[in-house]
Amino acid sequence: KERVRSSYEAYDFQAAYQALLNFAVVDLSSLYVDVVRDRLYCDGKESRRRRSAQTALFHILDALVRMLAPLIPFTVDEVYSFMPGEKAVSVHRLEFQAQHPEWLEADLEQKWSRLLGIRNETLRVLESMRRSGTIGAPLEAQVAIGFPQGSANGAQQMVRSNIGHLKDLFIVAGVELLSDAEATRIQSLDNGEVFALDDGGVARVLSNPPLVITGRHAPGIKCQRCWTYFDDGGDPELCPRCRAVVRA
């Protein structure tokens, strides 16, 4: 918001356009929308995760249509007409959203910056698995993360305390923690960027932070609704989450 506003005030429309394009392509399309798509499509209608994502997307869209109005006036006015809630006659009757500096949280931003760094490394493992034919899509993968013995650091505690978020962040069937001993064993086998393991999986070893990432084809069967894999034996077609949603 700050970059776009200052660009408009300087009549630098190209800079405003580039800032908006970069945000839409990198932050939204390649990350946020990709990560929350599953909960938007497959969680229950009143799910807190789904409603939280909808709230965030509404705030983002409301800000974007206002900032894009000087650049593509007819398109954003049409988009605005489909937005929910009370509206003005036209998006062009509105002002830009306030910048909300109180929404900035340095600690939260630092945490997610580190988690996204681990995500980028995990994506390299998944891409290697896809190229080799082990998986066809990330949702077919089971990922494990571990820390070699003697490598205690802030990243270790951060990953352990946020393990529940990583399945969604990586868009995989599941994420689990390796034991320190197993991570140390795999670290000793390191012979390349992404290397094969004896059990058919692959691994990547990082030095900063000291971290081991492994990937295997997920066990179980594919859910016909959300396409993730499960093996709880409760249904031949639907995972536990989809069962609860469909039968609610």
pLDDT at 208: 81
- Three-state secondary structure call for residue 118: helix
d(CA 13, CA 208): 40
pLDDT at 145: 95
pLDDT at 99: 86
Query: What phi and psi values does residue 211 have, to the nearest 5 degrees?
Result: -155, 140
Q: Which of 101, 83, 121, 92 minimizes the C-alpha distance to 202?
A: 121
CA of residue 241 relative to chain centroid, distance = 19
* Per-residue pLDDT of the chain in tens (248 residues, 90 and over written 9): 999 999 999 999 999 999 999 999 999 999 999 999 999 999 999 999 999 999 999 999 999 999 999 999 999 999 999 999 999 999 999 999 988 888 889 999 998 999 999 999 999 999 999 999 999 999 999 999 999 987 766 788 888 899 989 999 999 999 999 999 999 999 999 877 899 998 889 999 998 888 999 999 999 999 999 999 999 888 999 999 999 999 98
pLDDT at 152: 65
In 10-105, where does DSSP find H-type helix? 13-22, 33-42, 48-68, 73-81
Q: Indicate the pTM of the whole model.
A: 0.88
Give the Å distances, CA to CA, from 45 to 35, 50, 166, 248.
18, 7, 23, 10
193-196 CB contacts, 8 Å cutoff, 24+ apart: 193/124, 194/124, 194/125, 194/128
pLDDT at 207: 85
pLDDT at 72: 96
Peptide bond into 148 cis (omega under 30): no
d(CA 149, CA 35): 31
